[in-house]
């Protein structure tokens, strides 16, 4: 079913993990199993942008077997990870969850690290799984991509003036208050910039943002969604974030 408007999400558990997908059939079933295996307090919302490879159908089959812990939001077309997350956030906030995690579907983010991020959220409004905090690392990236990632993070940190080492990562745990602080109607960015913008807004609101080191492993199945357009957008939009309250 395609859901164009959020409705109440009937999932159990205090921690809702939001996973955007597009053509993640090789990964999604194993990822959901790994998340649910952590603890009964975890549930999963997959936001699928009409993947032609059957990702959404796989999630539907899992949800039929575990309707209290797994749900799918099917969007009618691919509009980018930013819009997928916004749709997921809207629906997630109708649930009774206390914490909201976001992560990639390709196992670049280790589901086992969720427990550390959730524990850190007891003293923070937003916890970032950080590749560049002390103890963090990346694996499987060529040297050029590692350099570009570090330079991109340094660039954004310098322009925005925030003391956060990894602004572009998507492995996060939000408190309900932090997620409600975001004005979802005014979020317009995509890709890396979406991650920068959401973190920056929460930090600007005076909320506590902490980092927990993670080991980031490049995907082993499926295709990366990174594009030159996303990189160029990041270069330009951080200046808009710096000098405008909202942009669009």
- The answer to whether residue 7 sits within a structural domain is no
Write down the pLDDT at residue 74: 96
Report yes or no on 2 lying in a domain: no
Instruction: Report if residue 209 sits inside a domain.
Output: yes
Look at residue 148 in the predicted model and tell me its pLDDT.
74
Span 24-52, mean pLDDT? Answer: 97
Average pLDDT (56-72) is: 97
CATH code where residue 76 lies = 3.90.550.10
3-state SS, residue 244: coil
Q: 109 or 2: which carries more pLDDT confidence? A: 109
Q: Return the closest-CA partner of residue 211 out of 127, 123, 112.
A: 127
- C-alpha angle with apex 58: 171 to 77, nearest 5 degrees? 70
pLDDT digits (tens, 9 = 90+) for 74-110: 999 898 899 999 999 999 999 999 999 999 999 999 9
Is residue 38, in this structure, part of any structural domain at all? yes
The per-residue pLDDT for 138 is 85
Query: Judging by DSSP bridges, how do beta strands 209-213 and 126-130 pair with one another?
Result: parallel
For 22-26, 117-121, 153-157, which range has the lowest pLDDT when averaged over its residues?
153-157
DSSP string, 73-104: EE-SS---HHHHHHHHHHHHTTS--SEEEE--
- pLDDT category of residue 2 using cuts at 50, 70 and 90: very low
The pLDDT of residue 233 is 62
Q: What is the pLDDT of residues 175-229, one digit of tens each?
A: 999 999 999 998 878 877 899 999 999 999 999 999 999 999 985 544 544 555 5
User: Does the pLDDT of residue 169 top 80, yes or no?
Assistant: yes
The span from the CA of 43 to the CA of 55, in Å, is 18
CA–CA dist 81, 195 (Å, integer): 10
d(CA 108, CA 110): 6
Cβ burial 94-128 (10 Å sphere, 16+ → b, else e): ebebebbbbbbbbbbbbbebbebbbebbeebbbbb
pLDDT at 188: 78
Q: Count CB neighbours of 170 within 10 A.
A: 19
How far is CA 68 from its chain centroid? 22
Q: Give the pLDDT of residue 220.
A: 53
Kindly state whether residue 6 falls inside one of the protein's structural domains: no
pLDDT of residue 64 exceeding 90, the answer is yes
Per the CB < 8 A criterion, the answer to whether 203 and 209 are in contact is yes
Average pLDDT, rounded, for the chain: 88
Is the pLDDT at 136 greater than 70? The verdict is yes
Domain that holds residue 140: 15-243
Alpha helices in the chain (DSSP H): 28-36, 55-65, 81-92, 114-120, 143-160, 176-181, 191-204, 228-243
Asked whether residue 80 is domain-assigned, the answer is yes
Phi, psi at 130, each rounded to 5°: -105, 125
248: in domain: no
Query: Contact, 22 vs 51, CB < 8 A?
Result: yes
What is the number of structural domains in the chain? 1
Q: Is residue 157 part of a domain?
A: yes
Phi, psi of 95 (to 5 degrees): -85, 180
Q: What is the pLDDT of residue 1?
A: 41
The predicted-structure confidence for 6-22, as pLDDT tens digits, reads as follows: 568 989 999 999 999 99
Length of the chain: 248
pLDDT reported for residue 230? 55
């Amino acid at each position: 079913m395609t859901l164009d408007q959020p409705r109440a999400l009937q999932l159990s558990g205090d921690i809702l993990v939001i996973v955007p997908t597009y053509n993640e059939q090789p990964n999604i079933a194993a990822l959901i199993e790994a998340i649910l295996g952590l603890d009964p307090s975890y549930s999963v919302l997959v936001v699928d942008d009409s993947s032609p490879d059957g990702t959404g159908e796989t999630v539907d089959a899992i949800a039929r077997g575990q309707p209290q812990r797994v749900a799918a939001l099917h969007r009618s077309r691919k509009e980018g990870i930013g819009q997928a997350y916004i749709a997921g956030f809207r629906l997630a906030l109708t649930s009774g969850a206390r914490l909201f995690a976001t992560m990639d579907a390709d196992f670049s983010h280790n589901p086992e690290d969720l427990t550390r991020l959730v524990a850190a959220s007891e003293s923070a409004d937003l916890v970032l799984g950080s590749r560049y905090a002390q103890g963090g690392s990346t694996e499987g990236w060529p040297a050029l991509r590692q350099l570009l990632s570090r330079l991109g993070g340094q660039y954004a940190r310098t322009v925005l003036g925030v003391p956060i080492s990894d602004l572009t990562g998507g492995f996060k745990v939000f408190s309900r208050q932090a997620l409600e602080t975001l004005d979802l109607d005014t979020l317009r960015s995509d890709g890396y910039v979406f991650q920068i913008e959401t973190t920056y807004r929460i930090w600007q609101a005076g909320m506590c943002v902490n980092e927990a080191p993670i080991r980031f492993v490049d995907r082993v199945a499926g295709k990366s969604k990174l594009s030159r357009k996303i990189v160029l957008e990041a270069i330009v939009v951080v200046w808009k974030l710096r000098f405008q309250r909202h942009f669009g």
